């Protein structure tokens, strides 16, 4: 069943780190972790939550193929203890699979709060299956579950239960009060889903979130870059002074400047994901789908597409994978074409750096906000253009979970996940990227670093006719070329190209361009291909090279046109104004 806490459970039991959120269908791929059950090592597989085994949607297919081909030793059937009434069909389907089954009734805390009474022993007896109550979020009931699992490993496969039998068993042993509703949720929804107030409140919350990230995160980032430049001057420079000059340059101006500039943004990014995570965990995102659906339908998408665009603000890759919950191919493709315009946290780093260089503290939040507006506008514009090619025929029916508070543990886990993601990206792209850029901007031998004689200079000279009409200079051209790989490389590259980091880098940017060129560059960086991982994900999800090519070429064209129009108009206004 979707959104019953399987991933929370996996994390709780095995210490794994699956992504958790209050949004049905978050686990879209199969995750696994090792677990000791008694004295045996078992592999616990987290399958996507489904309502039915009939294989209509992608995730249902994943589960039914998995059960057929892999023949697991034991199925943990996880259900939401407060919504038993509608989960019985699936249990009947699963029981006829010929595998031992343990029924886990999760969110026991929530059920109890609703006044739902569950007679575990009676239920277990009627079903002929082991049953246990669990609260994965708070860790209650895990001991007992371990015990049940140990016993079940040796037991016979579940006997096939008919839907009527399952119904019978639950009817007699689960007592739901006549008026079981989440009172608090109802009260909050009265405000947040209010016919007129709902939308303004939603935008207010989003604005507050971005404002919060910026006002708390910027000082943190400043502190980090101060720390990094001090480490360089106090420790690294004296330490490496014995090495040949070329090697010193490579290590300090190349590797260290590049990576430390990117790393100084990590606190900001963690903060961003934490805030977005809180919004996600509380269950507000499904409400956003409710509020935005009417508007989204005008653009050929639906409320779920909007939620995916929001998730894309964190990172485009999971958002693209999240579109699997959409069954209509047309709508899924349309949403996937729009998501890469979402201003992800990697692009946020580039903008924070540029905005700090070119604009005052008062202007900064508004400039950033304008970029978010452009981001959403481009996604909508793309959807509008392609809505007749990728037609949405999907019914829009979505479960609304009650509001839930994320625990501190879940939040810390989320923060740590981001640090780990950063470390993987560093080893994969950023290190290689900054090294390559250092080589390109310092060779052939004898060329003045960063000048036109270097390889990088020749490359940007060759690209100049294309990017000069946008006001994008040669240094920025190189950064953009490498930004194709990942947006973190853009700031790493700038640090290497200008040979500075921290405040010195910000000053260098300020002295090398005016705000119109800077904004034009930001527009281009916002709109064109976000990163190689996004392209790979699109290719993986669609298995179509033609669609993948479209998702690269279309944003490139839009980026060029938008930057061109902005730069030329702004220059004209400046000349005549």
Partner 1 sequence: MGERGRIFAIDSDIDLKQRLASLGLREGCQVQVLRKASFGGPLHVRVGTTEVIMRRSEAQRIMTVPV
Q: Which residues bind partner 1 (CB under 8 A)?
A: 51-52, 54, 56, 82-83, 85-86, 89-90, 114, 116, 176, 180-181, 189, 193, 195-196, 198, 286, 289-291, 293-295, 297, 302-303, 327, 395-402
Which residue's CB is nearer to partner 1, number 13 or number 84?
84
Residues 221, 356 contacting (CB under 8 angstroms): no
In the complex, minimum distance from the CB of residue 290 to partner 1, in angstroms, rounded to a whole number? 5
CA 50/CA 69 separation, integer angstroms: 18
Which residue's CB is nearer to partner 1, number 89 or number 503?
89
CA 323/CA 90 separation, integer angstroms: 23
Residues 523, 368 contacting (CB under 8 angstroms): no
In the complex, minimum distance from the CB of residue 104 to partner 1, in angstroms, rounded to a whole number? 18
In the complex, minimum distance from the CB of residue 111 to partner 1, in angstroms, rounded to a whole number? 9
In the complex, minimum distance from the CB of residue 395 to partner 1, in angstroms, rounded to a whole number? 5
In the complex, minimum distance from the CB of residue 309 to partner 1, in angstroms, rounded to a whole number? 17
Residues 400, 186 contacting (CB under 8 angstroms): no
- The partner residues of 33 in beta bridges, in order of sequence, read 44
Which residue's CB is nearer to partner 1, number 397 or number 575?
397
Distances (CA, A) of 571 to 140, 470, 563, 575: 64, 10, 12, 6
Which residue's CB is nearer to partner 1, number 287 or number 487?
287
> Residue 536 CB: number of other CB atoms within 10 A?
12
In the complex, minimum distance from the CB of residue 209 to partner 1, in angstroms, rounded to a whole number? 22
In the complex, minimum distance from the CB of residue 382 to partner 1, in angstroms, rounded to a whole number? 22
Which residue's CB is nearer to partner 1, number 400 or number 556?
400
- The partner residues of 106 in beta bridges, in order of sequence, read 80
Residues 536, 316 contacting (CB under 8 angstroms): no
R_g of the chain, CA atoms, integer Å: 27
Distances (CA, A) of 308 to 27, 71, 277: 14, 33, 13
In the complex, minimum distance from the CB of residue 175 to partner 1, in angstroms, rounded to a whole number? 12
Both tokens assigned to 459: 């490359």
In the complex, minimum distance from the CB of residue 169 to partner 1, in angstroms, rounded to a whole number? 17
In the complex, minimum distance from the CB of residue 184 to partner 1, in angstroms, rounded to a whole number? 13
In the complex, minimum distance from the CB of residue 225 to partner 1, in angstroms, rounded to a whole number? 45
Q: What is the DSSP string of 108-147?
A: HHHHHHTT-EE-HHHHHHHHTS-EEE-BTTTTBTHHHHHH
> Which residue in the block uniquely carries the two structure tokens 């509703």?
181
Handedness of CA 556, 561, 564, 567 (dihedral sign): negative
Which residue's CB is nearer to partner 1, number 294 or number 536?
294
Residue 388, judged by CB atoms within 10 A of its CB (0-12, 13-18, 19+), counts as exposed
Distances (CA, A) of 379 to 300, 335, 382: 12, 9, 5
**Dihedrals phi, psi of 174, to nearest 5 degrees:** -120, 120
Which residue's CB is nearer to partner 1, number 309 or number 478?
309
Which residue's CB is nearer to partner 1, number 172 or number 370?
172
Which residue's CB is nearer to partner 1, number 181 or number 569?
181
Distances (CA, A) of 550 to 96, 208, 535, 555, 557: 45, 35, 10, 8, 10
Which residue's CB is nearer to partner 1, number 222 or number 399?
399
Which residue's CB is nearer to partner 1, number 302 or number 488?
302
DSSP structural state of residue 161: P
């Amino acid at each position: 069943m979707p959104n019953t806490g399987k991933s929370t459970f996996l994390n709780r039991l095995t210490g794994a780190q699956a992504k958790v959120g209050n949004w049905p269908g978050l686990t879209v791929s199969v995750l696994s972790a090792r677990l000791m059950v008694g004295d045996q090592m078992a592999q616990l597989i987290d399958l996507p939550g489904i309502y039915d085994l009939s294989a209509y949607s992608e995730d249902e297919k994943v589960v039914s193929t998995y059960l057929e081909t892999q023949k697991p030793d034991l199925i943990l059937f996880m259900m939401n203890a407060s919504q038993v009434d509608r989960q019985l069909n699936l249990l009947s389907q699963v029981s006829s699979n010929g595998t031992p089954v343990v029924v886990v009734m999760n969110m026991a805390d929530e059920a109890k709060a609703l006044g739902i009474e569950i007679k575990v022993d009676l239920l277990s007896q009627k079903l002929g299956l082991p049953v246990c109550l669990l609260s994965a979020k708070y860790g209650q009931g895990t001991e007992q579950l371990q015990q049940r699992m140990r016993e079940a490993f040796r037991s016979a496969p579940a006997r096939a239960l008919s839907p009527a039998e399952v119904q019978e068993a639950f009817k007699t042993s689960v007592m739901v009060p006549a008026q079981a509703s989440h009172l608090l949720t109802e009260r909050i929804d009265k405000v947040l889903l209010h016919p007129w107030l709902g939308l303004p409140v939603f935008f207010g919350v989003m604005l507050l979130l971005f404002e919060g990230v910026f006002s708390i995160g910027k000082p943190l980032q400043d502190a980090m870059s101060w720390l990094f430049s001090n480490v360089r001057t106090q420790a690294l420079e004296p330490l490496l002074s014995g090495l040949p000059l070329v090697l010193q340059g490579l290590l300090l101006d190349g590797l260290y400047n590049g990576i430390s500039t990117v790393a100084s943004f990590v606190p900001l990014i963690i903060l961003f994901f934490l805030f977005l995570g809180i919004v996600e965990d509380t269950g507000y995102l499904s409400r956003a789908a409710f509020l935005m659906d009417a508007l989204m339908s005008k653009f050929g998408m639906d409320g779920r597409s909007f939620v995916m665009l929001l998730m894309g603000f964190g990172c485009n890759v999971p958002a693209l994978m999240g579109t699997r919950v959409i069954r209509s191919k047309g709508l899924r493709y349309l949403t996937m074409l729009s998501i890469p315009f979402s201003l992800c946290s990697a692009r946020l780093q580039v903008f924070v750096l540029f905005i700090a260089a070119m604009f005052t503290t008062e202007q900064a939040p508004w400039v950033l906000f304008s970029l978010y507006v452009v981001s959403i506008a481009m996604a909508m514009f793309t959807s509008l253009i392609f809505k007749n090619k990728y037609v949405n025929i999907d019914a829009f029916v979505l479960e609304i979970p009650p509001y839930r508070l994320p625990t501190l543990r879940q939040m810390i886990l989320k923060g740590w996940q981001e640090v780990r993601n950063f470390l993987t990206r560093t080893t994969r792209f950023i290190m290689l990227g900054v090294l390559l850029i250092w080589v390109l901007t310092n060779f052939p031998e004898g060329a003045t670093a960063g000048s036109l004689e270097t390889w990088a200079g020749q490359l940007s000279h060759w690209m100049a006719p294309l990017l000069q009409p946008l006001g994008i200079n040669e240094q920025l051209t190189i950064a953009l070329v490498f930004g194709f790989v990942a947006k973190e490389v853009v700031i790493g590259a700038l640090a290497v190209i200008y040979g500075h980091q921290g405040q010195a880098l910000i000053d260098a940017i300020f002295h090398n361009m005016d705000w119109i060129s800077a904004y034009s560059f930001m527009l281009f960086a916002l709109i064109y291909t976000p990163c190689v991982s996004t392209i790979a994900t699109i290719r993986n999800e669609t298995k179509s090279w033609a669609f993948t090519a479209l998702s690269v070429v279309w944003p490139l064209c839009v980026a060029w046109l938008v930057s061109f129009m902005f730069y030329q108009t702004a220059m004209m206004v400046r000349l005549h104004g």
